[in-house]
């Protein structure tokens, strides 16, 4: 599907997006730094484990609790003598993938709800938005933990559960945007042409709200990574031996005095990844905001 | 005002109904449902289980079960804890004060510090202070609260031994200073995270107010810049914070719950986690619904207070 609105050439389309927005994004230093760092991080997690001399599951009981910089163990080893760096990188694969797919799911669902609610408005719209409000009334950690405890914790299920508890914000944002676009001429024109509701919603309205959706998507990745880390830290998320940043912290908790580096590495990895996504989201928001044209 | 109150109240009732639906849906997802506690009892046959299901009405259609559950809920009968047989509401209420203490202390601190940082950042926009505050709040919003808690425990409790690593009071003590001593670390962690949120809001609210006509008028009248800032700018910028406090309530509550799990603080978050561990589903569900009700009441209160304080948005 091409992302250009046929009837609204002034705002619609990714071409507009490329020119001005990209330039403004590039001026946002923190956002650019975030983008570069996150690309490096993804590359490190994807290819790093292949370059390291240790396998993340290789147990070496003679080298338990080696502090960082012992030989080739740059970040030390854990109670089973497994290399921390190798494990952090492998865990990054899981955590980043879960974060990314949870974002995809929640954005797809949330944006659809938002567009439908905003376009139809009236009773349909208010029922849908009240459901959004109801979901927002639960502290998301409670809902998340209850679902995670009730359902089988496979990485796929964790992804779905995180999406269930984070689709509401984007639905709200999209609904507000669509409601303000609904009365615009190009939508009236589309209606007069007799285009179907589905066509108007997904070929005309969607391209016009793609900016806020992209911003929300970036922030949702950050949020999803945090949520996965938290439930895995509590033991309800990704289950060992599959490593994730969260469950590495769970294991590190009891060795806080003896081996603090075990808690330091995954925690810093989470903080770095989440900071990067938040910075990128911030930069995108500034770049896409039509009001702040400085 | 009365009309507004009634309309807002009816909205909350509808939301409450939806919340109960979501809660019930989650409950039916629980493995084995309400029978799971009996299924673990040794010597329990499948027939006995079926009989129990019959007695508890578990083979009735879901809508009937839901209606039954809802009416009990409304009558204040939230079931009994599997763990000690106490009524769920009693168990929950005994854990509410600890959570409230944590939430209120950290929020008061965070709002005051956040307002100060936000106003200063806005007045000295793009200064070193503003840049540092922006960077710090970016990191504070990204740092996992539970990990930050672990770091705080490592530094201040294990290495420096200034503060206790967990719990709300020392067994056998429980005096005011003792609780205060235990309160420092969790409040410090929560405040750091919340200051980031409040200072960001306050910064943009101040920036929006600072260029409005009435501020220019006040300056033109020759009022001192300090007086203009405090009375005209900050006063008006603080207003949306009340509504925001209502909107942020799930986040503040969630933060407190996360901190509780790290600092073994005996509040609702700790209770929730313990109940999950014991498969004590009545308490788990009770806490889900209870926290949602707390959030709805908070939102309602914030809206009403805003409407009372700000004549501009008071509906006719």
Question: What is the ipTM metric for this complex?
Answer: 0.83
pLDDT in tens, B270-313: 899 888 888 778 888 888 888 888 888 888 888 888 777 776 66
Say if the Cβ atoms of B29 and A147 lie within 8 Å: yes
Confidence of residue B24 (pLDDT cuts 50, 70, 90): confident
Q: What percent of chain B has pLDDT over 70?
A: 90
pLDDT at B10 over 90: no
Average pLDDT over residues B190-206: 87
pLDDT averaged over every residue in chain B: 81
Euclidean distance between CA atoms B270 and B262, whole angstroms: 9
- The reported pLDDT for the residue numbered A1 is 40
Residue A133: name the closest of B283, B316, B21, B272 by CA: B21
- The reported pLDDT for the residue numbered B56 is 66
Name chain B contacts of A249, Cβ cutoff 8 Å.
146-147, 150
Note down pLDDT in tens along chain A; length 294 residues.
Answer: 444 555 555 554 555 556 677 778 878 888 888 899 999 999 988 888 787 777 777 777 677 766 776 666 677 777 776 778 888 898 899 999 999 999 999 999 999 999 999 888 888 888 999 899 888 888 888 888 888 888 877 889 899 999 999 999 899 999 988 888 888 888 888 888 888 888 888 888 888 888 889 889 999 999 999 999 999 998 888 888 888 998 888 888 888 777 788 888 899 999 999 999 998 988 888 887 765 444
Of A138, A147, A260, the CB nearest to B291: A138
Burial of B173 (0-12, 13-18, 19+ CB in 10 A): exposed
Confidence of residue B41 (pLDDT cuts 50, 70, 90): low
Q: Compute how many other C-beta atoms are within 10 angstroms of the C-beta atom of residue B244.
A: 18
Residue A274: name the closest of B69, B48, B143, B25 by CA: B143
Of B26, B143, B257, the CB nearest to A141: B257
CA distances from A281 to A30, A35, A120, A286, B238 (A): 10, 10, 29, 9, 26
Euclidean distance between CA atoms B304 and B298, whole angstroms: 10
- The reported pLDDT for the residue numbered B32 is 57
Chain B residues contacting A, CB < 8 Å?
11, 14-15, 18-19, 21-22, 26, 29-31, 135, 138-139, 141-144, 146-147, 150-151, 153-154, 158, 250-251, 253-254, 257-258, 261, 269, 272-273, 276, 284-285, 287-288, 291-292, 295-296, 299
- The reported pLDDT for the residue numbered A294 is 40
pTM: 0.86
CA distances from B266 to A211, B260, B287 (A): 44, 7, 14
* Bridge partner list, A225: none
């Amino acid at each position: 599907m091409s992302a250009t609105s046929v009837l609204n050439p002034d705002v619609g389309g990714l071409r507009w997006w490329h020119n001005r927005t990209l330039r403004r994004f590039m001026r946002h230093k923190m956002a650019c730094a975030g983008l570069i760092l996150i690309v490096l991080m993804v590359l490190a997690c994807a290819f790093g484990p292949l370059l390291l001399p240790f396998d993340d599951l290789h147990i070496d009981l003679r080298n338990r609790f080696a502090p960082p910089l012992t030989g080739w163990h740059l970040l030390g080893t854990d109670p089973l003598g497994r290399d921390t760096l190798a494990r952090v990188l492998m865990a990054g694969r899981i955590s980043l993938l879960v974060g990314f797919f949870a974002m995809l799911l929640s954005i797809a669902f949330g944006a659809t709800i938002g567009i439908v609610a905003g376009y139809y408005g009236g009773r349909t719209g208010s029922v849908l938005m009240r459901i959004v409000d109801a979901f927002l009334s639960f502290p998301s950690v409670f809902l998340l933990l209850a679902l995670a405890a009730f359902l089988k914790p496979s990485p796929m299920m964790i992804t779905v559960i995180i999406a269930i508890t984070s689709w509401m914000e984007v639905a709200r944002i999209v609904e507000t945007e669509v409601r303000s676009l609904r009365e615009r001429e190009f939508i009236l024109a589309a209606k007069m042409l007799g285009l179907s509701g589905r066509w108007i919603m997904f070929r005309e309205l969607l391209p016009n709200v793609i900016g806020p959706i992209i911003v929300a998507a970036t922030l949702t990745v950050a949020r999803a990574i945090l949520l996965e880390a938290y439930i895995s830290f509590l033991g309800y998320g990704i289950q060992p031996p599959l490593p994730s940043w969260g469950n590495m912290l769970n294991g590190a908790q009891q060795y806080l005095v003896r081996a603090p580096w075990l808690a330091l590495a995954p925690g810093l990895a989470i903080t770095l990844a989440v900071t990067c996504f938040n910075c990128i989201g911030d930069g995108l928001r500034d770049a896409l905001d039509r009001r702040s044209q400085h | 005002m009365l009309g507004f109150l009634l309309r807002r109240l009816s909205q909350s009732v509808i939301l409450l109904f939806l919340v109960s639906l979501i809660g019930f849906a989650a409950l039916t997802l629980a493995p084995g449902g309400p029978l799971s506690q009996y299924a673990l009892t040794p010597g329990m046959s499948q027939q006995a289980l079926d009989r129990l299901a019959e007695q508890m009405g578990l083979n009735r259609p879901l809508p009937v079960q839901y209606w039954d559950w809802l009416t009990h809920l409304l009558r204040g009968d939230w079931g009994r804890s599997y763990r000690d047989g106490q009524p769920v509401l009693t168990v929950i209420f005994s854990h509410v004060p600890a959570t409230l203490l944590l939430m209120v202390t950290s929020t008061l601190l965070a709002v005051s510090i956040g307002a100060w940082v936000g106003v200063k950042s806005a007045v000295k926009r793009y200064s070193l202070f503003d840049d540092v505050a922006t960077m710090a709040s970016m990191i504070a919003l990204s740092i996992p609260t539970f990990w930050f808690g672990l770091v705080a425990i490592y530094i201040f409790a294990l290495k420096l031994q200034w503060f206790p690593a967990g719990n709300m009071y020392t067994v056998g003590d429980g005096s005011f200073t003792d609780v205060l001593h235990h309160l420092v670390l969790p409040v410090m962690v929560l405040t750091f995270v919340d200051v980031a949120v409040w200072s960001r809001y306050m910064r943009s609210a101040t920036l929006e107010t600072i260029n409005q006509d009435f501020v220019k008028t006040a300056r033109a009248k020759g009022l001192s810049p300090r007086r203009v800032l405090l009375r005209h700018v900050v006063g008006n910028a603080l207003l949306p914070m009340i509504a925001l406090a209502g909107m942020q309530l799930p986040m503040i509550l969630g933060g407190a719950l996360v901190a509780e799990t790290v600092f073994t603080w005996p509040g609702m978050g700790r209770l929730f986690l313990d109940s999950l561990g014991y498969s004590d589903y009545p308490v788990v569900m009770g806490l889900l619904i209870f926290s949602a009700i707390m959030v709805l009441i908070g939102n309602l209160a914030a809206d009403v207070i805003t409407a009372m304080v700000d004549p501009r948005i008071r509906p006719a």
